[in-house]
Every structure is written in structure tokens, then in C-alpha cells.
A and B are shown apart, each in its own frame.
Chain A
Amino acid sequence: MGGLLASTLVYGLVNSVVLLLTSLGFSLTFGLSGVANFAHGGLYLLSGFLCWLLMHRVGLPFPLAAAATVLLVGLLGAAIYRTVLMSVRGIVLSEVISTFAVGVAIVEFFRWKGFTTYDFTLPALVDGSVDILGVTVDWQRLLIVALGLALTGLLWLFTHRTMVGLALRGMSQDEYTALSVGIESDWAATLSLGLGSALAAVAGIALLPLGIISINIGYDVLLIALAVTVLGGLESTTGLILGSLIVGFAMVITGNYVGPRWSEVVYLAAIVIVLAVKPSGLLGKSKELEDRV
């Protein structure tokens, strides 16, 4: 069963990066502004349909449509902060509820408009496939792996090496001190929402070509993002990578050696168990008495 082992390794990695890419935007927004953006799944779905509409209704070529989608969805994210979140900032429950409402409204709007037929696909960026360790993988999946890793790296550089990124992190670590050195809180949050949403769009455009765009992806993506980020510990990039690897490999290993029907149970159970044992996630900052986020 050497083939199965190789396949586990290759597809485990692919699956992990798919999860990583899916949740990158959610994690970034949470890490930088403390807002759990429950509209993440809705934005992901929106970018798929928006890109399709730009290509088939407006007639833009794919690269242009993709770029426009990322930009528009990013702007929408920023607009969500300005119109909705700004007035409930800091009230966790209200942030979650209002972004969740936005997400549901987006998903159900498309359902209402009849986007349920099997006509919606995005083209793969590259065609063809290649053999790695005797396992056949298509270029699109490899591209996703490269994109996921590159984006994660870039974001790390952005948040640790650029002035803007440092300002954002400063705001998330200690709001009062950040304010006192002249960083504007709302500006930082708007930017982090915009960036997170644009990342959701990038993920959508890279991942949706693997299949067809179906409405319920909107809810699934939110769940995946929650699972992966919570598992690794919110606000930690390493945690996010670790979380994706654990969930990604757990799903593929169960799929290959136990049976695919168990894979979803395994990852949901993983979250529950990890949180029960270590409430702040694997790499989250644990505090003894209280304030465990």
C-alpha cells in the first residue's frame, strides 16, 4: 500500500493548504481587529458568483474578472465595517450576530435569485497534471499549495515588517497605547476587514475551479474557517498553519484508512476535544484564571 501512503502525504498536504487558504482571511481579520467575521463564507461564495458574472454577463476575461472581484469584495469588507460594525465595535455578541446576518443575507440572496443550477464554474488557472511520488496531482492543486504558502508568508512579512502591518498588530495588542501613538482604531479595523475579505475572494477564485459553485459552500467555508482557526488558537499564524495541517491530514488519513464517511466527524470532534483540553487553542495564549478570550 505504498501508493496509499504517498497519496496520504500528497493529498494531506493539498487538503491542509486548501483549509489554510480558506481560513486565511478569517484569521487575519480576527488577529488584527478582534472581529470574528462570520460573513467570511458569504463573501467567499459572493466572490465566486461575482467573478462568474463578470466573465459571463459583462464579458471580462478571467484574469481581469478575478482581479476586479478581489478588489470589489475587499471594498465590500471595508464597507461592512464602516456601515455595520463600527457602531457595535467591541460588543462581541453584536459583532458576531451582525456579520453572521450579512453572510446569511448574501448566501440566501443568491439562492433566491436562482443561482442553484449546475451552470456555475470558474476556469482553472492552469490545466494538466503531474506525478509526484507516483501520485497524480493536477497543476491547479499545486498552484493552490504555492499560493497558500506564499500568501501566508507575505502576510507574515506584512504584519511583522511593514509600518502598516505593525500598526495593525499594535492596535490588536494594546489599543490604548496604539491610540496614544497616533494609530486610528477605525482605520485599522477597516483595513483589516478589507484585507480579510479580499483574501476570502482570493481563496474563492483559487479553490472554486476544483468543482462547481454550489450555494451551501457559503456555510461550509465559515465552519472550516472557524474549525481551523479555533484549533490552532486565534490570532496566531503558526497556530493557523498547525490547525490546517492537523485538520487537513486528519481528514485525509481517516478518509484513506478508516473510510471517507468518518472524515467530517473527525475534524469536528478534534475541535471539541482540543477546546475542552486547552481552551485557548493549541498555540493560543493561555491564561489561568479568566479571560480565555
Chain B
Amino acid sequence: MIQTLRTAASLALAALALGASPARAADTGPIVLGVPTALGTIEGQDSLRAAKLAVEEINAAGGVEVGGVKRKLEIASIDTREAEAGVPVLDALAAMEKLIDEKKPAAIVVGSFRSEVLIPAMDVIAKYKIPYLCTIGMAPGFEPKIAGDYAKYKYNFRLGLSAPYLVGNIAKTMGFIHQKLGWDKMYFVHQDVAWATGTAGGVAKLSAAAGWKVLGNDAYPTGSRDFSSSLTKAKAAGAQVIVPIFDMPESGVLVKQARSMKVPALIAGFISPAAPATSWATFNGEIGGLVNFLFEPGSIPLKTPRSEHFYQAYGKAYGEETLRKMSGHGPGPSYDSVYVLAAAIRRANSLAPDAVVAQLEKTDMDGAIGHITFNKNHQVPFGDDPKKEAVTLAFQWRDGKRVVVYPESVAQSHIEAPR
């Protein structure tokens, strides 16, 4: 106890000393990029890895030139623990504030994991005024908030997928199924959180307009482990497609239970535990036929130089095993966010937040997730052509392999009906 107290005291003193001497020597030192995110989750871990990879690549090429000086980049990360049960949003914000106060980052990449944290985090960013390039949190409220008060929230950008674009892409995939397989009965099962509710509702609306009959739309609280009621109803009503929208590990039960209850429908939607390449083994091959979305390319690369480069470099840096486990949400845009930021700093020739923001808005470059630009609300548009915009992939599990089935511009095959 005495020892720990002593350590705490010396830490406190060290912090005092740091606070007392303003970091003036930083003009030639490394440019710090903050990564405050949920490092206990695979999305968080993989995103941090991807951002670090980009930083190493840029440093190996000499760094970023600002005001005539080549400066290296440096990542400072902190675990906000925001995905853990019982951790308050405010504690996650406190972690972010700690990172900003102590490490004085020039910008933040990756950012909040949960939508519930992302939205109030924008207020913290408004207070500190540093560029914030978010890649995981999918809150639908992000764009409206920037649109509502541009001057205050202009420091926020998002390279990761946002719920409205996911809605568009799932709906298009459904249209595809409707056309190719002639099906028209669907059933929604989703997690009871804002982004999933919004996504399911949005897809249901668009699909209904496109000729689908929506038989049901059930919300399950986070952590649920019994999906029999929806599966029974879906089976009884003769649903041909079940659309699950979940990012909780427990949703793995849904896949297994649908199989054991012999529900004949195709499962097509988003189930996080069935996305990585290793999940075939995890589920003993019982996920054959499942259609899942990769929110952003990365884990499955696009056929573009940047995307394939990222895939290979990631494998080389972290090993085959880590590459196979790579999450379908986070790493791609996180890797790109560092490049986007570096380019903006180079063009601005300064670290002044407003100058960097102005240059970020002019971003127009190829990345691992497709072509990157920002719309007027600072969101990267996601569509189906990697030459024009970032893309979302849908793949189908077949014999232990993930076969890309959407969008058509990169698809390897068509969606097949379950056996």
C-alpha cells in the first residue's frame, strides 16, 4: 500500500512538473495523434493496429513536412473501456480528456467506439478544438449535429461507415435478392441500440417500398441469449430472409439457434461474431450460406492498389493469425484516417486546427476503403463504386470462405439460396 501510494504521489508530482513547463520544444518533435477508444474490443484493437501501421509507413518515408521541417508521427492511445458493462459514458469522456490534456495531440484518430459516447464526445472536441477523425462510432446523430452548428462542430470528421449509408447498402443488397431470387418476405431482428434500431427501421422502409413484405421487426436488449420467439414467428410466417443487425457477441446464438430450429430462411444482415475469417472455425462451419456485411473493406481487400497494400502490409506487420481475425469494422478507415490527416497537414503546412480542418474538407484521395472525400457534414460517403466513393461489402459464407457478393463492381459471385 505504501509503495503504491508512493508511486501515485510521484506520478502526481511528475504530472505537476509536466503541467508547469509548457511543451514549447514540440515544434520539431513528433506530431502526436491521439487514439482514445475501447481497446478491450477487437474493433478497437484492430483499429489501433491499423493506425500504427500507417504511422510507421509514413515515418519510414521520412515523416510529414510542416513549416520546412520533416516531423515524425507518434500515436498516443488510451483505453476508454466504453464497451464494457458498467462503465459510464462520462468515464470514457474523462479518458479522452486525459489523453488530450496530457499528450497534447495535434489530432485524434479512430475515436469513440459507441455511438452513445461519440455524440457527447463531439462537445468535448468543440471545447478543445482539435481535428477528430472518427472511424468506429456509427451514431446517426453525427451529421445532423454538425449541420446544426457547423462552427462549433467542424473539427469532427468520420471515415467509418454511418448508419444511413449502411441502410442504403443493405437495402440495395435486399433489392438484389428480390430481383435474383424472387423472394419477398423478410423478418428483422435487431439489437435495441440507436444505430441498429435506425438501420433496421430504415432498411424495412426502403425494402417495403421496393416490394418486400416485412413480417416482423423485433428488438432485443443488448446481451440477449434466446432468440426463439422471433425465430418461431419468422418460421411460422414463412420468412425467406431474416435480417439481423447486431454488434454484440451474444448474437452468435442467433445463428446457431436458427440452424438448430431448422429455420429455412437466408440470414442476411450484420452479425459481428460471424464476420472475421476465423468465425467459420468458431461456429464449426455452421454458418454456411450466411450473408454478412463488412462495414468497410480491410479484412477483405478491394481490388485496388491501396486496399491490397493495406491487407498485405497488415499481415506482414502483425502476422497471418491477426490478419485472419481482423474485424470488419474499424481497421480500414483507421488506416486511411492517418494518411488523410497527414496529407491535410502537409497541404496546410501547419498544425493549426482551423487550417488542418480546411484542408481535410478538401480531401480527395484513394484509400483502403475506396475513394475518400468528405460531404458537407464531414462524413465520407459510402456507395458501391470504389473509384468514386468508399464501399461496404457484403459476403456470403461458402465452404469456409467469404465470397464477396455485393457491390457488383467488386463481387466475386451472386448470392445463393441456402441449401
Contact = CB atoms under 8 A, between A and B. Distances in A.
Instruction: Tell me if chains A and B make direct contact, with any CB pair below 8 A.
Output: yes
Nearest to B191: A261
Interface string B225-255: 1111110110110000000000011101100
B84 A140 contact: no
Contact of B221 (A114, A136, A261): A261
Contacts of A94: none
Interface string A223-248: 00000000000000000000000000
Interface string A119-146: 1110100000100000111101100000
B85, B230, B249, B272 pick with most chain A CB within 10 angstroms:
B249
Contact of B230 (A3, A137, A219, A260): A260
Contacts of A217: 250
Contact of A129 (B86, B229, B262): B262
Interface stretch (A149-157, A208-216, A282-290): A208-216
Interface string A1-33: 001100100010011001000000000000000
Contact of A260 (B42, B220, B281): B220
B85 A216 contact: yes
Contacts of A83: none
Contacts of B278: 118-119
A216 B84 CA distance: 8
A123 B284 CA distance: 9
Given A4-B233, A118-B273, A137-B261, A263 B250 contact: no
A41 to B, nearest CB: 11
A135 B236 CA distance: 10
Contact of A121 (B218, B225, B227, B282): B282
Given A117-B42, A140-B260, A3 B236 contact: yes
- How many A residues touch the partner, as a band? 35 or more
Given A121-B282, A136-B261, A261-B220, A212 B249 contact: yes
A118 B261 contact: no
A225 to B, nearest CB: 15
A129 B232 CA distance: 15
Given A116-B42, A210-B253, A211-B253, 12 more contacts: A7-B229, A118-B273, A118-B274, A119-B282, A215-B249, A255-B230, A256-B229, A259-B218, A260-B229, A260-B230, A261-B218, A261-B220
28 contacts: A7-B229, A15-B228, A112-B40, A116-B42, A117-B276, A117-B325, A118-B42, A121-B282, A123-B284, A129-B260, A135-B232, A136-B235, A137-B260, A137-B261, A140-B260, A210-B253, A210-B256, A210-B257, A211-B225, A211-B252, A212-B253, A215-B249, A216-B84, A219-B86, A255-B228, A260-B219, A260-B220, A264-B221
Interface of A: 3-4, 7, 11, 14-15, 18, 111-112, 114, 116-121, 123, 129, 135-138, 140-141, 210-212, 214-217, 219-220, 251-252, 255-256, 259-261, 263-264
Interface of B: 40-42, 45, 84-86, 192, 218-221, 223-230, 232-233, 235-236, 248-250, 252-253, 256-257, 260-262, 272-274, 276, 278-279, 281-284, 325
